Amino acid sequence: MRILNSLWRNRYEKESFIKSFLLFFLSIFLLISVVFLFYAQNLKQEKLYSLFLEMKNYSLSLKGKKFETELVSGKKSRVYELLEDGKYYYIDVPIPFVKDEFLRIQYPKQKFLSDFYSSLKPAFYFYLLSVFFTLIFSFGFSIYSLSPLRKAYRLLDEAIKDIIHDINTPVTTILINGKILSMKYKDDEDVKSIVLAIKQLSSIYNNLRYLLKETEKNLQDVNLKNIVQSEINFLKKIHPDIKVNTKLKDKIVKADRTVAERIILNLLSNAFKHNIKNGYVYIEINDKLVIKNSSPEIKNINRLFDRYYRESDRGVGIGLTIVKKLCSEMGWDLNITYRKGEFTAEITF
Query: Looking at per-residue confidence, does 4 or 45 come out higher?
Result: 45
* Mean of pLDDT over the chain: 85
Residue type, 346: E
pLDDT at 48 exceeding the cut of 80: yes
Tell which wins on pLDDT, 307 or 16.
16
pLDDT recorded at residue 233: 86
Domain architecture of the chain: domains with CATH? 2-68+109-150 (no CATH), 216-348 (3.30.565.10)
- 238 pLDDT band, cuts 50/70/90, is confident
Q: In angstroms, rounded to a whole number, what is the distance separating the alpha carbons of residues 205 and 191? A: 21
Q: What is the pLDDT of residue 26?
A: 94
The pLDDT of 175-189, averaged and rounded, is: 77
More confident residue, 98 or 327: 327
Most confident of 13-27, 40-54, 212-226: 40-54
The residue among 157 and 24 whose pLDDT is bigger is 24
Mean pLDDT, rounded, for 53-69: 88
Task: Give the integer Cα–Cα distance in Å for 295 and 276.
Answer: 6
Is pTM beyond 0.85? Reply is: no
Q: What is the mean pLDDT of residues 320-340?
A: 88
Angle at 291 between CA 289 and CA 292, to 5 degrees: 150
Whole-number pLDDT of residue 197: 78
State the pairing for strand pair 333-339/342-348: antiparallel
Q: 252-256 and 219-223 as β-strands: parallel, antiparallel, unpaired?
A: antiparallel
Q: Which residues contact 199 (CB under 8 A, 6 or more apart)?
A: 178, 234
Task: Please state the φ and ψ torsions of residue 213, each to the nearest 5 degrees.
Answer: -150, 150
Spatial separation of the C-alpha atoms in residues 214 and 338, rounded to whole Å? 30
Structure confidence by residue, pLDDT tens digits, 79-124: 888 998 889 999 998 888 888 788 899 999 999 999 999 999 999 9
pLDDT at residue 32 greater than cutoff 70: yes
Position 269 pLDDT exceeds 80: yes
- CA 140 – CA 185 distance, rounded (Å): 64
Q: At residue 308, does pLDDT exceed 70?
A: no
How confident is residue 258, by pLDDT bands cut at 50, 70 and 90?
Answer: confident
Residue 16 in contact with residue 145, Cβ under 8 Å? yes
User: HEC profile for the chain?
Assistant: CHHHHCCCCCHHHHHHHHHHHHHHHHHHHHHHHHHHHHHHHHHHHHHHHHHHHHHHHHHHHCCCCCCEEEEEECCCCCECCCEECCCEEEEEEECCCCCCEEEEEEEEHHHHHHHHHHHHHHHHHHHHHHHHHHHHHHHHHHHHHHHHHHHHHHHHHHHHHHHHHHHHHHHHHHHHHHHHHHHHCCCCHHHHHHHHHHHHHHHHHHHHHHHHCCCCCCEEEEEHHHHHHHHHHHHHHHCCCCEEEEEECCCEEEEEHHHHHHHHHHHHHHHHHCCCCCCEEEEEECCEEEEEEECCCCCCHHHCCCCCCCCCCCCCCCHHHHHHHHHHHHCCEEEEEEECCEEEEEEEC
Greater confidence (7 vs 155) lies with: 155
